Amino acid sequence: MKVSEIGEFGLIERLSKMAQQTADKHQDAWKQLVVGIGDDAAAYFSNNEIQLATVDSLVQNVHFSLSYMTWQELGWKSIAVNLSDIAAMGGFPRYALVSLGLPGNTEVENVIDLYRGMFDIAGKFGVALVGGDTVSSSFVFISVTIIGSAGVKNRNILKRSAAQPGDQIAVTNSLGTSAGGLEMLKNNLTFSPKLSKQLRQAHLTPNPRVSEGQLLVEKGVKCGMDISDGFIGDLTHICQESKVGAQINIDLVPVAPAVKKCFGQRALEMALTGGEDYELLFTANPLVMNKVKKAIQCPVTVIGKMMAEKAGKVTLVDITGKIINTKKTGWDHFIK
């Protein structure tokens, strides 16, 4: 059987089962584990704290092309996507390790620019870059590991598995801008300078919602993740891990105004399935949700609810309650 037949997530499911079956639960490493494969970051106890660890890679011509982005932007993004996974747990990022693959004919100045981008964002979020690995490769790849903390032992973390029937489903800010940016860059589309800048920034230099994730935990939110592969696909992960169903009202989705302006009718689909917005998707009961809305700096929009029925599935409805069918849900690395 080929990887493309089961897809990225089918493959991860098998690997996760193997890890479960071969785990020696008496060993310290397993005893101290809070969250393993299946969430945005792994979480484990150490010295009365919960520690977080996550790794994500960017591969040339799969995740990015140097034809439309600078090395500095690439550096920023490679750290940003990992910080977003720490944000998705409500944690505090601390240390970064960078594994770098480069063709031998790469200009040194380009690599310096790459690290300028990395140090820019690392500095902004208080992350220390403390190591890595450099290897020769026929294409550029950057794999970043981030170690963080989720605070003391009894502090909550945002888990994909903690949604409850009756929870409201919300997202931070708006969706679709990154997908719009990718489309603009790939197809050389021209928009006004203001819109172009917004789309470009969203796709190439996203801002991970680290402080927002921490605030969610403080206000009592237990379930959350970041939107990296596409809203519907990502929410499906929450449904599967929490064994609940989700109903989304598509008329409430906060589609980014810039995307509406540039892509008209396609904007909603881009918001629902485009991915890489690195906003937070979370669920909470109405009481907790109100506390969040009062305290958080950025917009938060409730767009649906969790329910006991249709466990593992996302249902889309419009404002009249009519069910909307969609095949596309998001990005899978092997299923096109």
Binding residues for ligand ADP (CB under 6 A): 12, 15, 37-40, 56, 85, 228-229
Three-class DSSP category at 102: strand
- Min dist CB 161 to Mg ion, Å, is 14
How many Å apart are CA 91 and CA 49, to the nearest integer? 11
Binding mask 83-102 for Mg ion (x = CB under 5 A): --x--x--------------
Q: What is the DSSP letter of 265?
A: G
Among positive and negative, which fits the CA dihedral 12, 17, 23, 28?
positive
- Contacted by 38, from ligand ADP, Mg ion, none: CB < 5 to 8 Å by type: ligand ADP
Q: Which is nearer to ligand ADP, 160 or 260 (CB)?
A: 160
- Min dist CB 228 to Mg ion, Å, is 5
Query: Which residue carries 């917004």 as its tokens?
Result: 198
- Contacted by 167, from Mg ion, ligand ADP, none: CB < 5 to 8 Å by type: none
- Min dist CB 84 to Mg ion, Å, is 6
Q: Which is nearer to Mg ion, 88 or 185 (CB)?
A: 88
Does residue 40 belong to the site contacting Mg ion (CB under 5 A)?
A: yes
Three-class DSSP category at 201: helix
Beta bridge partners of 168: 284, 305
Q: Can you read off the two tokens belonging to residue 227?
A: 């939107």
Q: Which is nearer to ligand ADP, 294 or 336 (CB)?
A: 336
Q: Which is nearer to Mg ion, 228 or 247 (CB)?
A: 228
- Look up residue 85 and give its amino acid: D
Q: Which is nearer to ligand ADP, 183 or 229 (CB)?
A: 229
Q: Residues near 202 by Cβ (< 8 Å), separated by ≥ 6?
A: 177, 178, 180, 181, 256, 277
Residues between 196 and 235 with contacts to Mg ion, criterion CB under 5 A: 226, 228
**Residue of 82, 91, 64, 73 whose CA lies nearest to 129:** 82
Q: Can you read off the two tokens belonging to residue 179?
A: 């997908």
- Min dist CB 50 to ligand ADP, Å, is 15
Residue 215 contacts residue 286 (beta carbons within 8 Å): no
- Min dist CB 42 to ligand ADP, Å, is 6
